[in-house]
Amino acid sequence: MRWAGWVRAASTLLLGAYLVGCGDRGATPPLPGVGGGWVRRWWVWHRPFTEADAARAGDRPSIQVASIQRRDGRLALEERQRWRAKPEHTWDAVVRIHSSSLSALWDGSADELIRSAATDNVPSRPAGVQIDADVPTARLADYAAALKRIRSQLPSGLELSITGLPDWVSSPHYSNLCRSVDLMVMQYYGNRFPEPGQPPPRLWETESVVRQLPRVAPPDCRVLIGLPAYGRCVVLDDVGRVLGLRHNLDPQALLDSGDWTVRSSAPRGVRGYRSGNGGGPTEESLVLTHGAARAGPGGLPPGCVLWFQWPTAGMLREVEAGLQRSNTPGILGVCYFRRPMPGEAIRPFGDRWPNETSASPRWRARASRDGTVTVTYLGMETPPVEFGVTATIAASGDRVDSLGPDAEWYQGAARTSPLRANRLVVRRRVLFPGQEWELCRLLDPSPLMLGLEVGVRPGSPERTSDRVDVRRDE
C-alpha cells in the first residue's frame, strides 16, 4: 500500500496505549551475523507475501513457497505462494513435504517438484532451498541419501538446508544427515506440555536445549536453533483438565462475540494461579472463560477455559543470551518462526529488539479515502493484554464518527453526547503485531496528526511518548 505526502496538522489524536517470524560444490558462504557473528533469521509460516512484508523482512528470511502432497495418487504442488511483491533481500525458498508424501523423497519422485517450486514462478532467485519434512527418526539414513541426491541436482549456487526435529539427535545417522546439507534449522518448539492441576509452564524452557547443543551440532556442521516467536493457547475443561493446545484463536474476536469473558480467578482444579492476567517481563498471559451454552470455534466445549501465552522481547533476549553463552561450536544463531498477520512487518526493527532504540518504529497510522483512521502495531512484543489499549481522540462528534459500540464520548472527565464532547475514547483488549485497529471515521476533510503515548498502565511514570503522522491513501 502506498501513501502520499505528509499530512498537515488540523486536529490532534492522542493515543494512550497502556501496555498494550557437505558437498562438492565449493565452499559454503558465511551467514550474515548480528553482532559478533551471531545469526538471527526469520522463518515465515505460509501466507501471501505482501508488499509490507517484503519491505521489512530483513536479511535472509525463509519463506514457504509450496507444499508437495499426493492427490488422487499423484504428486502435486499445493499451497503455492501468491506473490504480491518480491522480497527486497536475500531469501530462502521453503518447500514443505506433506507427511503422507514422504515416500516421494526416498524414490526420487519429488526431486523435480522441489526444484520447480523453489525456482519457477518466483519473483526473484532465492539464495537457497529449504526442505521442511517431519521424517521419522527411523528413516534418517534414507533421508540423508535423498538429500545428497537432491543437492547434486540443484542449480549451481543454491544452498540446501532442512528443518529438523529434536528426536533426530538420538539417531546414529544424525551426523551424516547434518553433513548432507549446508545448514540445519533445528526446531525447538520446546514447550513442556501443561500438567493437570497446574498453570501452564513457562514458554520456551530452554535449559534442556542448552545441555543438548553439543549433540545438536556435530563436527563440521552448521546449525541454527529454531524457536517460535508466537504464543500458544492451552485449552482446559471446566474442572481444569488439559484438553489440548491451539494456535489459531484470536482472543479479541472471541471477546467481541460476547460468549467469552476475561477470567480473574483461578479456574477450577488449577492451583498456583496468579490473580489477574499478564505474566511479567518474559511472557504475557490472558485467560478467557466460555460462558455460552453452545460450542465455541472448532468445537470448543461450553464452559471451557482458554489460557493464552505470548513471549515478550525480554524472553527472546534471555533465550538468545543463554544460547550464546554456551559458545557451542557449530551453533551459528537462531531462527525465529513467525505466523504473521496479513501485512505484518516481519522484522520492523532491523537487528535490534523493540524499545532498544527510539528510531525503531512501533506504530503506523493512516487515513483511507473514506476517512477511516487505522493504527497498526508494528512491534514483535507480546500483544498488549493486561491493561488493553486506550485511544483518546481530541475531537468532537461533528468532526469524527465512532465505529464501534465500545466508544465513549467525554467532556473533561464526564461522559456526554458526541456533539457536546471534546474527546472520543476507544478501548481494545488485545492488538496483535501487524493487526489494524479502526479507531474512527473523519467527517471533516481536514487531515490529522497523531500523538502516541505508550505505557504499562494508566498514569505509569514509565510511559514514553512518540509522534506519528497519518498519511492518506492515494
Domains and CATH numbers, the chain: 3-18+353-473 (no CATH), 39-230+310-338 (3.20.20.80), 235-307 (no CATH)
pLDDT confidence of 182, banded at 50, 70, 90?
A: very high
- Predicted pLDDT at 390: 75
- Predicted pLDDT at 121: 83
Q: Which of 17-21, 171-175, 389-393 has the highest mean pLDDT?
A: 171-175
User: What whole-number distance in Å separates Cα of residue 161 and Cα of residue 184?
Assistant: 6
Residue with cell 490532534: 12
Contact 240, 201 (CB under 8 A): no
Work out the percent of the chain whose per-residue pLDDT is above 70.
68
Non-local CB neighbours of 387 within 8 Å, separated by 6+ positions:
18, 19, 20, 456, 457, 458
Please state the rounded mean pLDDT for residues 155-184: 94
Contact 61, 92 (CB under 8 A): yes
- Predicted pLDDT at 282: 55
Please state the rounded mean pLDDT for residues 417-438: 80
- Predicted pLDDT at 171: 96
User: What whole-number distance in Å separates Cα of residue 442 and Cα of residue 259?
Assistant: 31
- Predicted pLDDT at 331: 93
Work out the percent of the chain whose per-residue pLDDT is above 90.
22
- Predicted pLDDT at 59: 63
| Three-state SS at 316 | helix
Asked if pLDDT for residue 351 goes beyond 50, the answer is: no
Asked if pLDDT for residue 49 goes beyond 50, the answer is: yes
Asked if pLDDT for residue 261 goes beyond 80, the answer is: yes
Contact 315, 203 (CB under 8 A): yes
Residue with cell 479479541: 252
**pLDDT (tens digit per residue) in 65-117:** 888 888 877 888 888 887 777 777 788 999 999 998 999 999 999 999 999 99
Q: Which of 188-192, 228-232, 468-472 has the highest mean pLDDT?
A: 228-232
- Predicted pLDDT at 386: 52
pLDDT confidence of 135, banded at 50, 70, 90?
A: very high
Looking at every residue in the chain, the average pLDDT score rounds to 75
User: What whole-number distance in Å separates Cα of residue 65 and Cα of residue 42?
Assistant: 15
- Predicted pLDDT at 51: 52
Which helix (H) or strand (E) segment holds residue 225: the answer is: strand 223-228
Distance of CA 231 to the CA centre of its chain: 8
User: What whole-number distance in Å separates Cα of residue 107 and Cα of residue 117?
Assistant: 18
CA torsion angle 185 340 299 294 (round to 10):
160
The per-residue b/e assignment along 141-161, b for 16 or more CB within 10 angstroms, e otherwise, is ebbbbbbbebbeebeeebbbb
- Predicted pLDDT at 429: 75
- Return the amino acid letter for 435: Q
User: What whole-number distance in Å separates Cα of residue 187 and Cα of residue 410?
Assistant: 51
| Three-state SS at 141 | helix
